[in-house]
Structure 1
Amino acid sequence: MNQTRRKRRPDPSLSRLDSLSPEMLFPAKSPSLTSSRIRYIFLLLTFCFIIYIIFSYGTTFRREQISSIARSLSVFSTRRRHLLFSIAASHDSWLRRSSYVRLWYSPESTRAVVFLDRGGLESDLTLPPVIVSKDVSRFPYNFPGGLRSAIRVARVVKETVDLGDKDVRWFVFGDDDTVFFVDNLVTVLSKYDHRKWYYVGSNSEFYDQNVRYSFDMAFGGGGFAISASLAKVLAKVLDSCLMRYSHMYGSDSRIFSCVAELGVTLTHEPGFHQIDVRGNIFGLLCAHPLSPLVSLHHLDAVDPFFPKRNRTESVAHLIGAASFDSARILQQSVCYDSLNTVTVSVVWGYAVQVYEGNKLLPDLLTLQKTFSTWRRGSGVQSNYMFSTREYPRDPCGRPLVFFLDSVGSDGTEGTWSNYNLHRVGNCHRAEAVERLERVRVLSRKLKHDVEQMVAPRRQCCDISSPYNKSMVINIRQCMPDELIAMNT
């Protein structure tokens, strides 16, 4: 019931409040009130006034503000569970290559599915679940001598999104001979807002491959990631793109073309590796960029990474090292022993190279051409997307090479790794290193924050002297004005 309110007459005493002193408004128990107590009471009243103002706004406004803040914070908390891996394979290739996937896939923490051309395989709980791709016979394919399976593999993007898995921020695509370093991929993708349209990957190491296809295409074997917001739109229009691009060779060309039609360009991340080279990729691994290692492809076309191990064992050995310090794997540090005139290049988790003499840093950052071209033939030129230096044919002209033997942790944030000498030939060495057999590397676990990801800096290292059969190296952050060079 409404009641008529009687207007109150203004209290004459209230008009005089401004003229009253604090002592008159708040009479103290003691004869005098200290200034500190006055400030305290003033701050208390101010706080109460602010609380009143905040709660006087509508609940809708507050809910929208809180939701906006939560969405912003969520961008920086991407975890393994937010990634869904989609592996393209065939029935026959999966029998040969599933051992690679087993090395990086974890049923407890990794979300992944495998698409095959046909079924008939027994289930294996140590591997991702298998899905048989849908029929793609209605789509044309006109590339001379190519494989129609490129259409099926391209359409995996749509079929993966259509699965409707919840809480997926990034859809990641690769082949059954692609090995992912999942934690590093999570770190890389955390730089980007999954609510925006991103197509993340890298191109080929072989210049001619990029000329043939595109410098702005993410090569599918090396893997690429598509943000969930873009993937959902791409899935809706992909079939129409498959109709238009029947003349193309591969699946990755079709995805690239459709993404381009949506107005999105490639975001390059050098940690994705197509590995469009053959043979010994020692030189490629020893000059990895500062970006975290994300993927390795074409493992069947390259030699085992480590001596006396097969391909699967070599990859497992590398992944085992990454389990102790994923961000540091293949990161190169260079240090100098001025007393003995020795230069050391440490590629953490893989190999240590000990050079006699003073070697300039830029020379050691250049890839040694230990590998051969992807395309074979007498007319094929060795044109790469990076600078190379010749690898000495004479083993005695090469540095001493120590390959990873073991890795461990001190129980906190420190790690140690041991590297054993790989003897090649009967070479005469300088007295300082002629008896050297082992190298031990000490380091702190490398953690990438936002600043380091945007503006990375190579770390420094120190050589403990003297050394005879065993050398100890400590990796650390460089001082602000420190140069990675020998003191002269």
Structure 2
Amino acid sequence: MQLFQKHTKAQFLINFILVASSFCGFYVIVSVLILGTSNPKLLVHLQHSSSSQEALKSATATATTTANTTLDDIVFGIAASKSSWTKRKEYVKLWWKTNNTKGCVFLDSLPKDNDDSSSLPPLCLSQDTSRFRYTCSGGLRSAIRVARVVVETVALNHTGVKWYVFGDDDTVFFPENLVKTLSKYDHELWYYIGANSEIYEQNRLFGFGMAFGGAGFAISSSLAKVLAKVFDSCLERYPHLYGSDGRVHSCLAELGVGLTHEPGFHQVDLTGNTFGLLAAHPVTPLVSLHHSDYTDSIFPKMTRTQALQHLFKAVNLDSQRILQQTICYNKKFSWTVSVSWGYAVQIFNDHMFLPEAVNVQETFKQWKNGNVLAKTYMFNTKPFDTDPCERPTIFYLDSVSSSKNGIITSYYKRFLRDCRKERGSPNKVEVIKVVSDKLDLNIKQLLAPRRQCCDILPSSAGDKLEIAVRECKDGELIYMH
């Protein structure tokens, strides 16, 4: 009886210590000291609990490491040619931060002068690739040189690198958003991050598992170092491929690494007016835009470069919110209002359910003529009406400023003929002001994004509309109240 009581007290003490010490990682120590091996099943359970604690600590450490990713941890490899660089360097100037950005632009031959080098990346001469075969009919041999930018960028031997990011000289990156996106991932693991084309047929031809090079893609440093060592041997096996990105993808596939899709990278395999695509951006930070030479200026009455410079006025104040779409409803006039922050606001003169309101309007044209698949997109679309009177009234970014009340963006109305005479027509609105706080996404919001909400403020009257953008409340629904 006395022995039983002692055992009961000891067991109680053990249970108490185990519960109290579970947060301190002492499961195994306590069980060994008090129980020895008298209860093997309990010992195994405690060892498992200890492993879970260690796994939790490891996951926390990883989250801390990735969250500390900065622009200084990234090295860029930009593919260009002497003939294209003269014009396209204006795109690179938009996003390259001279004192904070590392990398190189790789050219087939160096220009004689580089007067504006202070605002651009250093220029590197690509190595000779004549030893490699290229057999793709209709393709360009330069694809081999561009593919080897991966090898030559790693060979720059920058220290403290977490990520290598590759793109073309007409790829416009949004560096702060790139950093935020990569902060979700552990650079010590093997990651290949990018996006497909917007066109189904492009993906079918070149691969749904391939990151399209113009959109840009990222490779973790641990993977890039291994890839650089084996890349030339891979090139020998793929002389028949069309592009450089196909060669990178094939070699990564041989290493057993698949693509991690990030919708913030944009190949933009489209022509004409890309308004519909930009105004319905996914709920994720904008990382890149490509093919500006093949699409219209994103703002009316501006050159392509001027328009991108104008967009960067908003980017520089609130990079993570740029193009993020929110939907408001005006019950009085049955308006549906779409705010694509820092770019444009649209007023639809009727009530649209949210799933329809966020669909991409087909303002653009297909990349190439061909069968029906050439005009089959990788997202839901809706037609852009040929009758201007049936289209939404569009307001483009005019100015952006910061105050103690938040960031204020103003939008001006695009010219439309006056085809709506009825009371409450959106055509009567001349200016829209949007007030918002600066968006600073944490790791949870990046991993589980949620669209924000907006309110049409009661002070809105006459020719002016005022809108406030905010986080949605728990359980709040976006619909016509």
Alignment TM-score > 0.5, same fold = yes
Match status 1:100 vs 2:91:
yes
Q: How far apart are residue 451 of structure 1 and its match? A: 1.1
SS of aligned partner of 1:221: helix
Which of these residues, 99, 104, 109, is aligned with residue 100 of structure 2? 109
State the alpha-carbon separation in 2 of the partners of residues 303 and 109 from structure 1.
31
Q: How far apart are residue 71 of structure 1 and its match? A: 6.9
Q: Is the 8 A contact 2:200 2:374 kept in 1?
A: no
Q: How far apart are residue 435 of structure 1 and its match? A: 2.0
Aligned AA for 2:153?
A: T
Q: How far apart are residue 70 of structure 1 and its match? A: 6.8
Tell me the equivalent position of 1:39.
none
Aligned AA for 2:109?
A: R
Q: How far apart are residue 68 of structure 1 and its match? A: 11
Q: How far apart are residue 142 of structure 1 and its match? A: 0.5
Aligned AA for 1:144?
A: S
Which of these residues, 409, 425, 431, is aligned with residue 423 of structure 2? 431
Q: How does 1:320-335 map to 2 (within 5 A)?
A: 320-335=313-328
Change (3 A) 1:227 1:274: same
Q: How far apart are residue 340 of structure 1 and its match? A: 2.4
State the alpha-carbon separation in 2 of the partners of residues 264 and 197 from structure 1.
7
State the alpha-carbon separation in 2 of the partners of residues 69 and 205 from structure 1.
36
Tell me the equivalent position of 1:57.
none
In structure 2, list runs of 5 or more residues that go unmatched: 1-56
State the alpha-carbon separation in 1 of the partners of residues 63 and 354 from structure 2.
40
State the alpha-carbon separation in 2 of the partners of residues 191 and 429 from structure 1.
51
Aligned AA for 2:383?
A: E
Aligned AA for 2:473?
A: M
How many residue pairs end up in the alignment? 421
Aligned AA for 1:483?
A: L
> Relative to structure 2, which stretch is displaced further, 67-76 or 401-410?
67-76
SS of aligned partner of 2:375: coil
Tell me the equivalent position of 1:360.
353
Instruction: Give the 4+ runs in structure 1 shifted more than 6 A.
Output: 66-72
State the alpha-carbon separation in 2 of the partners of residues 295 and 479 from structure 1.
30
Tell me the equivalent position of 1:9.
none
State the alpha-carbon separation in 2 of the partners of residues 70 and 268 from structure 1.
24
State the alpha-carbon separation in 2 of the partners of residues 76 and 406 from structure 1.
32
State the alpha-carbon separation in 1 of the partners of residues 162 and 374 from structure 2.
41
Q: Is the 8 A contact 2:347 2:392 kept in 1?
A: yes
The root-mean-square deviation of aligned C-alpha atoms, in Å, is 1.7
State the alpha-carbon separation in 1 of the partners of residues 334 and 275 from structure 2.
25
Tell me the equivalent position of 1:77.
68
> Relative to structure 2, which stretch is displaced further, 421-430 or 89-98?
421-430
Match status 1:192 vs 2:152:
no
Change (3 A) 1:374 1:138: same
Q: How far apart are residue 75 of structure 1 and its match? A: 2.5
Which of these residues, 61, 81, 94, is aligned with residue 90 of structure 1? 81
Change (3 A) 1:381 1:197: closer
Tell me the equivalent position of 1:31.
none
Tell me the equivalent position of 2:340.
347
Change (3 A) 1:128 1:192: same
State the alpha-carbon separation in 2 of the partners of residues 172 and 381 from structure 1.
29
Which of these residues, 450, 469, 472, is aligned with residue 478 of structure 1? 472
State the alpha-carbon separation in 2 of the partners of residues 331 and 343 from structure 1.
16
Match status 1:147 vs 2:145:
no
Q: Is the 8 A contact 1:290 1:331 kept in 2?
A: yes
Q: Is the 8 A contact 2:67 2:443 kept in 1?
A: no
Tell me the equivalent position of 1:420.
412
Q: How far apart are residue 376 of structure 1 and its match? A: 2.6
State the alpha-carbon separation in 1 of the partners of residues 446 and 239 from structure 2.
39
Match status 1:249 vs 2:242:
yes
Q: Is the 8 A contact 2:200 2:373 kept in 1?
A: no
Q: How far apart are residue 112 of structure 1 and its match? A: 2.5
Which of these residues, 281, 284, 288, is aligned with residue 291 of structure 1? 284
Which of these residues, 446, 463, 468, is aligned with residue 469 of structure 1? 463
Q: Is the 8 A contact 1:463 1:473 kept in 2?
A: yes
- Determine what percentage of the aligned residue pairs are the same residue: 52
SS of aligned partner of 2:127: coil
Change (3 A) 1:308 1:232: same
State the alpha-carbon separation in 2 of the partners of residues 351 and 75 from structure 1.
33
Tell me the equivalent position of 1:37.
none
Tell me the equivalent position of 2:364.
371
Change (3 A) 1:426 1:107: same
Q: How far apart are residue 426 of structure 1 and its match? A: 2.9
Match status 1:386 vs 2:369:
no
Q: Is the 8 A contact 1:356 1:430 kept in 2?
A: no
Q: Is the 8 A contact 1:181 1:319 kept in 2?
A: no
Q: How far apart are residue 377 of structure 1 and its match? A: 5.0
Which of these residues, 170, 179, 194, is aligned with residue 201 of structure 1? 194
Deviations, residues 316-360 of structure 1 (Å, cap 9, x unaligned): 111221111111000000011112222110000000001112111
Tell me the equivalent position of 1:125.
118
Change (3 A) 1:72 1:431: closer
Q: Is the 8 A contact 2:146 2:244 kept in 1?
A: yes
State the alpha-carbon separation in 1 of the partners of residues 163 and 404 from structure 2.
33
Q: How does 1:242-321 map to 2 (within 5 A)?
A: 242-321=235-314
Q: How far apart are residue 411 of structure 1 and its match? A: 4.7
Deviations, residues 88-119 of structure 1 (Å, cap 9, x unaligned): 00000001110000011010111121000011
